[in-house]
Amino acid sequence: MSQITKQPTIISPYYARNVKFAKRVGDDFLTVVRQRVMDEFKRRKISPYANSEMLLKTLMVFTLYALCVIAIYSNYFSAGALLGIYAFLGFVCSLHGLNVAHDAMHGAYFRSPTLNKSLSYGFDCNCTSSFVWRVSHNTHHHIYTNIPGLDYDIDKGSLLRFQPTDPIYHYHYFQNWYALPLYSLMSLNWGFYSDIVWMVQEYRKGTVPNQEMALFCLLKLVHPFFLMILPMILLSVPWWIPLIGYIILHSVSGVTSAVVFQLAHLVEGVEFVNADEGGELPYDWALHEMNTTSNFATKSRWVTFWVGGLNFQVEHHLFPEICHVHYFWISDIVRKTAEEFNFPYKENRTFTGALVSHFRTLKKLGRNKDWNG
């Protein structure tokens, strides 16, 4: 294999710790695979951004969202039916986040950064902050995948043990059973706790511009006002029906989104990587991503459609700036190039297989202190 040296430190402005990825000299997997993919775009004479399929999907999501809101405000439905509409709207909110806002926040929807940022504000209108997401997800998760202390997606406090370096408590023995109910609280936690705490802390440090803080505060009010408070006032059903419906909406959205994201990095076979005492990591960045990321159900266009291509997590991490509708054919190039370089290419063949693997991983992390992959 190629000689290994160390590259310059990668430092996030929002995190003080320095880490260094190993750098591969000579044969460079990332350079080769990116060049091959870009050459294929040129050969096909297509753009790496959204195409007609993506536009139709976006129209579908926005239409479903609008129909749900119209149904709520129609004041036509019984209390039980209204709760069902709220539940379906929670699913639609997750569709919007996974399929539309996620691509926009990665700059993968439009060529224009301004248009991408504008579209990403739909994430805020679903009660989650696009500003926080761009830092916690785009920066920390995508660069420092499965690195304890740097990847915010696996730093979840003490109730869930998502990484081998976390302390293990007696209740973790059952975490594979209680994880799903906690996932149902994820969206509520984002909307009304973690986003707010993060923004306040960073604003006090001076890392958040005043206009971003003002916009954050304004947009945080939009979702609960129009989907909970106003229906409580205007609808003929008891006031607590929209309240319960709003909680159900967040529960459905939270479970759907959490499960999709967990199936890529918290399954059997992926690695949790720690830096040594000098902050040096064992792999170059591309090999690190291949070791810490797993695909699932990549042959299913149905799964791909609903999860916004996030079943192609390997391709997404290597090409976050490319719209997910292209991942089907990109994956063939990535797989073949990985084989040439003797790089791993990890995947679960089905959604169900990945789901079972995730809960087995939670079980092992909850019962075996030193288990890693």
pLDDT attached to residue 223: 94
Half-sphere exposure of 32 (CA within 13 A, CB side): 17
pLDDT attached to residue 277: 77
Sequence-ordered alpha helix ranges (H) in the chain: 29-44, 52-73, 79-95, 102-105, 113-125, 130-133, 142-143, 175-183, 186-189, 195-205, 210-224, 230-234, 240-265, 285-292, 301-306, 313-318, 327-340, 351-367
Give per-residue burial for 104-142: e unless 16+ CB within 10 Å, then b.
bbbbbbbeeeeebbebbbbbbbbbbbbbbbbbbbbbbbe
Nearest by Cα to 309 from 269, 264, 354: 264
Local confidence band at 173 (pLDDT 50, 70, 90 cut-offs): very high
pLDDT per residue over 292-348, tens digit each?
999 999 999 999 999 999 999 999 999 999 999 999 999 999 999 999 999 999 999
pLDDT per residue over 135-169, tens digit each?
888 888 898 899 888 887 777 778 999 988 889 99
CB distance 346 to 290 below 8 Å: yes
CA dist 127 and 222 (Å) reads 8
Phi and psi at residue 78, to the nearest 5°: -70, 170
Task: Please give the biggest Cα pair distance in the chain.
Answer: 71
The residue written with tokens 């292209």 in the block is: 326
Locate the domains of the chain by residue range: 4-367
CB distance 227 to 241 below 8 Å: no
pLDDT per residue over 196-254, tens digit each?
999 999 999 998 999 999 999 999 999 999 999 999 999 999 999 999 999 999 999 99
CB atoms within 10 A of CB 237: 18
CA dist 369 and 65 (Å) reads 44
The angle that helices 113-125 and 210-224 make with each other, rounded to 10 degrees, is 40
CB distance 107 to 116 below 8 Å: yes
Across residues 20-35, what is the average pLDDT? 84
Local confidence band at 17 (pLDDT 50, 70, 90 cut-offs): low
Average pLDDT, the chain: 90
Retrieve residue 284's tokens: 């170059």
